[in-house]
């Protein structure tokens, strides 16, 4: 009787499915939007000790149309230590284009990174990238699918340079990639609040010479070794201060996020709904499932489709528990 009463007052069209929290209604679980901070606490990636120890890669795009130069994507590569960014405009995001740009635009200019972190998109998760990183001796770290917080530097930058490009480019000509280089240069030469230095300073050990520098700094060294010793001294000072400031900001961000978020932990055999990735139309389901949890490595979980028996690894923020009606 209780089950019928609940169904009448919640499931009936005249009730309109109001009341989302802890309801056992499958439609509510799949359609309702989460209004609070996503579950799960921030897990900051271990801060590197110097440039090229850890970089991240991600894609921005696709743009609705090809640019005047035939591009729709931007491969964004960020050095975690310096915050230095390399952005490569591309016509597509295939495995070949990704690997080629990574080698030509980053490795040939800066060197081989020790570790690289990406998402699990097919442009990064493929045999070509696997063979390339193995050949280079680079450890390839893949974050949980569709969990951009794990690769936060690139995501933050994507939110930063898109608005700047929008202010500069001609929408009719669709020439956004003509302005990509100056926007990146402005970003790399601007002081970062998290480190107290510009990415350029931390990467190259000197101040950039900008158009507004009427009297650029000059260096007088009798021997090449004099410059080398001064560079080492400067980099050691930069490194100590930047590390202290970055760790301080990481801790502050973690505390702010933790204060406004929950950290649920699921168990094996729990039934859960999984957040459908990407932008959904207003009347489409936002969660799919239910799925069964078959492996637990909090905050990541492996879920199994109960129909096809296929499984995938996901992050805790993309899950919510299935509440069943036991009446």
Hey, where are the domains in the chain?
A: 2-41+265-321, 55-211+219-258
Q: Which of 41, 94, 48 is nearest to 72 (CA)?
A: 94
DSSP code per residue over 222-241 = SSHHHHHHHHHHHHHHHHHH
List of residues 6+ apart from 73 with CB closer than 8 A: 59, 60, 61, 62, 63, 89, 90, 91, 92, 93
Q: pTM of the entire structure?
A: 0.61
Q: What is the CATH number of domain 2-41+265-321?
A: 2.30.30.140
CATH number for the domain whose boundaries are 55-211+219-258: 3.30.420.10
Decide: 323 and 315 in contact? Cβ < 8 Å: no
Range 65-102 burial, b when 16+ CB lie within 10 A, else e: eebeeebbbbbbbbbbbbbbbbbbbbeebebebbbbbb
Of 183, 209, 194, 201, nearest to 86 by C-alpha is 183
The per-residue b/e assignment along 261-298, b for 16 or more CB within 10 angstroms, e otherwise, is beeeebeeebbbbbbbeeeeeeeeeebebbbbbeeeee
| Cα distance between residue 94 and residue 123, in whole Å | 5
Strand partners, 72: none
Res 319 pLDDT > 50: yes
Q: What distance in Å separates the CA atoms of residue 206 and residue 55, rounded to the nearest whole number? A: 21
Instruction: For residue 52, give the nearest of 89, 94, 107, 128 by alpha carbon.
Output: 107
Q: What is the pLDDT of residues 65-93, one digit of tens each?
A: 899 999 999 999 999 989 999 999 999 99
The token pair at 218 is 């000059």
User: Which helix (DSSP H) or strand (DSSP E) does residue 107 occupy?
Assistant: none
Phi, psi of 282 (to 5 degrees): -60, -35
Written as six digits, the tokens of 286 are 């936002």
> pLDDT tens, 212-271?
555 555 555 566 676 666 666 666 655 665 566 666 555 655 555 555 556 678 888 888
The answer on pLDDT for 316 being more than 70 is yes
Task: State how far the Cα of 234 lies from the Cα of 221, in Å rounded to an integer.
Answer: 15
CB-CB neighbours of 255 under 10 Å: 11
Closest C-alpha among 262, 261, 321, 266 to residue 298: 266
Report the pLDDT value the prediction gives residue 146, as an integer from 0 to 100: 47
pLDDT in tens, 44-71: 567 788 899 999 999 988 888 899 999 9
| DSSP H or E stretch at residue 108 | helix 108-110
The pLDDT > 90 percentage for the chain reads: 24
pLDDT confidence bin for 18, thresholds 50/70/90:
very low
Radius of gyration of the chain (CA): 24
């Amino acid at each position: 009787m209780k089950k019928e009463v609940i169904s009448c007052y919640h499931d009936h069209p005249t009730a309109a499915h109001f009341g989302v929290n802890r309801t056992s209604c499958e439609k509510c679980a799949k359609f309702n939007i989460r209004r609070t901070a996503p579950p799960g606490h921030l897990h900051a990636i271990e801060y590197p000790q110097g440039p090229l120890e850890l970089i991240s890669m991600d894609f921005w795009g696709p743009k609705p149309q090809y640019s005047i130069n035939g591009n729709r994507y931007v491969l964004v590569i960020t050095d975690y230590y310096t915050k230095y960014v390399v952005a490569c405009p591309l016509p597509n995001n295939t495995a070949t284009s990704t690997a080629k740009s990574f080698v030509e635009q980053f490795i040939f200019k800066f060197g081989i990174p020790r570790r690289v972190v990406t998402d699990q998109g097919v442009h990064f998760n493929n045999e070509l990238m696997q063979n390339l990183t193995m050949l280079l001796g680079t450890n390839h770290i893949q974050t949980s699918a569709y969990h951009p917080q794990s690769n936060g530097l690139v995501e933050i930058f994507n939110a930063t340079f898109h608005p700047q490009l929008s202010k500069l480019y001609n929408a009719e000509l669709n020439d956004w990639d003509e302005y990509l280089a100056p926007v990146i240069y402005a970003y790399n030469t601007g002081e970062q609040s998290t480190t107290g230095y510009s990415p350029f300073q931390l990467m190259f050990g000197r101040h950039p010479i900008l158009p507004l520098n009427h009297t650029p700094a000059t260096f007088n060294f009798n021997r090449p070794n004099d410059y080398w010793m001064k560079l080492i001294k400067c980099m050691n000072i930069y490194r100590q201060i930047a590390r202290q400031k970055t760790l301080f900001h990481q801790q502050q961000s973690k505390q702010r996020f933790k204060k406004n978020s929950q950290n649920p932990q699921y168990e094996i055999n729990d039934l859960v709904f999984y957040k459908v990735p990407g932008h959904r139309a207003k009347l489409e389901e936002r969660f799919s499932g239910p799925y069964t949890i078959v492996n637990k490595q909090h905050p990541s979980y492996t879920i199994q489709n109960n129909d096809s028996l296929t499984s995938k690894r996901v992050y805790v923020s993309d899950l919510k528990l299935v509440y069943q009606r036991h009446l």
